[in-house]
Amino acid sequence: MLAAFTPATPALTLSELARRAGISLPTAHRRARELLEWGALERDGEGRYRVGLRLWEVASLAPRGLRLREVAMPFLEDLYEVTHENVQLAVREGLELVFVERIAGRQAVPVLTRVGGRFALHATGVGLALLAHAPAEVQEQALSAPMHAYTVKTVTDPERLRSMLAATRRDGYAVSNGQVTTDALSVAAPIREGGDVVAAVSLVVRAEGAQPLALAPLVQAAARGISRSLGPSR
């Protein structure tokens, strides 16, 4: 039932919940009552169900996200203060990435990402940085799977993407230019813990006039600072 909620459908009636979850209406009613009592669901003024704050409390305890966010925030804030652009922090979950933190620039280019949101690995800067350092079998799965074209610039050709991943490993940073929205460019760098890449940080700016070579050292410095603070793997 909880999986029935999406960014496009944050509020659902009981009938919609039952249909999306593939269960009967009486079963949905019983489970919804239990989830309401626990705090995983809430009801709005129109009687529709929404995700409750209790889930946020539980999710914030996830060790990978909790420690990473605490360690990374000072460096993300420094990166924002230097640039006043969008700053993002993400981890890989299977063949997708999950954004665990984001600082939005007031005058920065609009982005489609949100904290807790998932996205494909092949199109974003953080996704490319994570995929470039993922195990070989994960890379092959991603390269052989269908890839959605978000814009006319989205790279969906496996061989071209393979070359981009190699360049990311060689240069130490990834660039996604107009691949998610045509007006945005992202520069991302990997974050390491004990030698393993565990996350990626990115800066998202307006594509017009952007200078990736000038932005890359700033993002890499933030990534190195977070990596040092994470220390050796535990």
Instruction: Tell me the per-residue pLDDT of 185-233, one tens digit each, with 9 for 90 and over.
Output: 999 999 999 889 999 999 999 999 999 999 999 999 999 999 999 886 4
Give me the torsion for CA of 171, 174, 175, 181, rounded to 10°: 170
- Whether residue 95 has pLDDT greater than 90: yes
**How would you write the chain as a 3-class SS string?**
CHHHCECCECCECHHHHHHHHCCCHHHHHHHHHHHHHHCCEEECCCCCEEECHHHHHHHCCCHHHHHHHHHHHHHHHHHHHHHCCEEEEEEEECCEEEEEEEECCCCCCCCCCCCCCEEECCCCHHHHHHHHCCCHHHHHHHHHCCCCCCCCCCCCCHHHHHHHHHHHHHHCCEEEECCCCCCEEEEEEEEEECCEEEEEEEEEEECCCCCHHHHHHHHHHHHHHHHHHHCCCC
Q: Name the band, by pLDDT with cuts 50, 70 and 90, for residue 116.
A: confident
Share the mean pLDDT of the chain: 90
pLDDT at 66: 63
- Whether residue 106 has pLDDT greater than 80: no
**Chain centroid to CA 142:** 16
Distance between CA atoms of residues 153 and 102, nearest Å: 24
Q: Across residues 15-35, what is the average pLDDT? A: 91
The CA-based diameter of the chain, rounded to the nearest angstrom, is 59
Q: Name the band, by pLDDT with cuts 50, 70 and 90, for residue 134.
A: very high
Q: Name the band, by pLDDT with cuts 50, 70 and 90, for residue 60.
A: low
Distance between CA atoms of residues 50 and 10, nearest Å: 6
Distance between CA atoms of residues 191 and 184, nearest Å: 22
Q: Across residues 170-191, what is the average pLDDT? A: 95
Distance between CA atoms of residues 99 and 132, nearest Å: 17
Q: Name the band, by pLDDT with cuts 50, 70 and 90, for residue 105.
A: confident
pLDDT at 212: 94
Q: Name the band, by pLDDT with cuts 50, 70 and 90, for residue 61.
A: low
Encode pLDDT of 62-77 as tens digits: 655 567 888 999 999 9
Count of CB atoms situated within 10 Å of the CB of 26: 9
Q: Across residues 65-90, what is the average pLDDT? A: 90
Q: What are phi and psi of 98, to 5 degrees?
A: -125, 125
